[in-house]
Amino acid sequence: GAGVSQSPRYKVAKRGQDVALRCDPISGHVSLFWYQQALGQGPEFLTYFQNEAQLDKSGLPSDRFFAERPEGSVSTLKIQRTQQEDSAVYLCASSITSGSSYEQYFGPGTRLTVT
Amino acid sequence: KQEVTQIPAALSVPEGENLVLNCSFTDSAIYNLQWFRQDPGKGLTSLLLIQSSQREQTSGRLNASLDKSSGRSTLYIAASQPGDSATYLCAVISGGSNYKLTFGKGTLLTVNP
């Protein structure tokens, strides 16, 4: 079956531009997560949705970062006024529901480069 | 705050060798521990998930052990193959949330033919 998909796969933005990254989770998965992976680092948690509700946004690095999942399926991560330190791979994951017993399935990521 | 450390950072072995990757975590109050594989330009593939009540999990040539009290896990790969070359990441779920993964920086494994 189809896994988690993300688009675009690569994005180059000039400093100060706004970007929007899309995540299509596995159909029927209730939980959706965004992680940020800087070069040479492990992924770091950004935010978590259960259906359309954003239950945890503690990992968002600044108020320039905004995520939504209005219909409880597709999610968009938006970054306003991009800065060079935003350059990273943004990974989306979904799981059938919340809880530590359930695996998170990751998409291929979007590599964002801010010039 | 939970911290996950993986050693070595990089490992190069000849094909056919058995090898061990190490992971340690500072807060032993974990819900579970997962090992992932990441290929260049690709997302993460889950290899093994060990619940906090378990000691080990096996899948094919992979065996992961968990010693929660000492804050350690190992991933054992038997009879390594060039196709095993990738970055291996260890992650735990712990603390106040039962969903937030905390990752190590990974071990870059190269298996030479």
- pLDDT tens string B3-55: 999 999 999 999 999 999 999 999 999 999 999 999 987 889 999 999 999 99
Q: CB within 8 A of B84, min separation 6: which ones?
A: B77, B109, B111
Size of interface A-B (CB pairs under 8 A): 66
Residue A85: DSSP 8-state:
G
Asked if the Cβ–Cβ distance from A105 to B89 is below 8 Å, we say no
- If one counts every other C-beta atom within 10 angstroms of the C-beta of residue B5, the result is 15
Q: Which residue in chain A is spatially nearest to B40 when comparing CA positions?
A: A108
- pLDDT tens string A66-107: 999 999 999 999 999 999 999 999 999 999 987 777 889 999
- Smallest CA-to-CA distance from A88 within A55, A40, A56, A48 is with A40
- Smallest CA-to-CA distance from A94 within A103, A86, A85 is with A103
